[in-house]
Amino acid sequence: KNEVEQSPQNLTAQEGEFITINCSYSVGISALHWLQQHPGGGIVSLFMLSSGKKKHGRLIATINIQEKHSSLHITASHPRDSAVYICAVSSGGSQGNLIFGKGTKLSVKP
Amino acid sequence: EAGVTQFPSHSVIEKGQTVTLRCDPISGHDNLYWYRRVMGKEIKFLLHFVKESKQDESGMPNNRFLAERTGGTYSTLKVQPAELEDSGVYFCASSQWGEANEKLFFGSGTQLSVL
């Protein structure tokens, strides 16, 4: 069992739908990252959080430290949101020494 | 401002050969990280430089991998000799040192295929 588990692995949604991607982890962490990777592209850091909630545009990330769980929400989804979303945690060491989840592949249909 | 750049974008080599991957971080970023994703698996951390010093190399798989960052600017990751299981995508990321919220900036990766 991975130390960072994401669900679902694959997600297909219709344009406009509200989307939730979940991440659970089993280790103590100093921070949790949500990353986005478009097909054939590099990885973009969306959020880094250690408590509470962050919002950027249509994206919202929440974390519950006690439950070792984080969610990434996308409101009013759009086909351009189609990408792989990756959860990763910093567990001791430097912030960039990350334990990654396997990713959630999101496809938003027009 | 240029982002993190990696070269080459793709490399195909034969087992036993040597390959050198390069990462140019964002100018002024002291932290530089290497990661790897082999097919079907999650991305794994390899190592972390602060300027020219190796801060953490706990993720390096074996001594066939050698990373350097001479002068604290760009970094190279050499695989010698390459084995089939080294195939995968190698990512580099950089960030500024000392920031409380250390945002990572990633390169587009190098796809390595060892035949």
pLDDT tens sequence across B71-112: 889 999 999 999 999 999 999 999 986 655 578 999 999 999
Q: Is there a contact between B43 and A86 if contact means CB atoms under 8 Å apart?
A: yes
Q: Is B45 on the interface with A (CB under 8 A)?
A: yes
Q: Is B93 on the interface with A (CB under 8 A)?
A: yes
pLDDT tens sequence across A64-79: 999 999 999 999 999 9
Chain A residues contacting B, CB < 8 Å?
Answer: 2, 4, 33, 35, 41-45, 48, 86, 88, 93-103
Residue of B nearest to A45 (CA): B104
**Cα separations in angstroms, B12 against B17, B39, B53, B82, B92:** 10, 15, 30, 11, 19
pLDDT tens sequence across A32-69: 999 999 887 789 999 999 999 999 999 999 999 999 99
pLDDT tens sequence across B8-63: 999 999 999 999 999 999 998 999 999 999 988 999 999 999 999 999 999 999 99
**Cα separations in angstroms, B22 against A31, A93, B33, B45, B86:** 28, 24, 12, 16, 16
Three-state DSSP at A31 gives strand
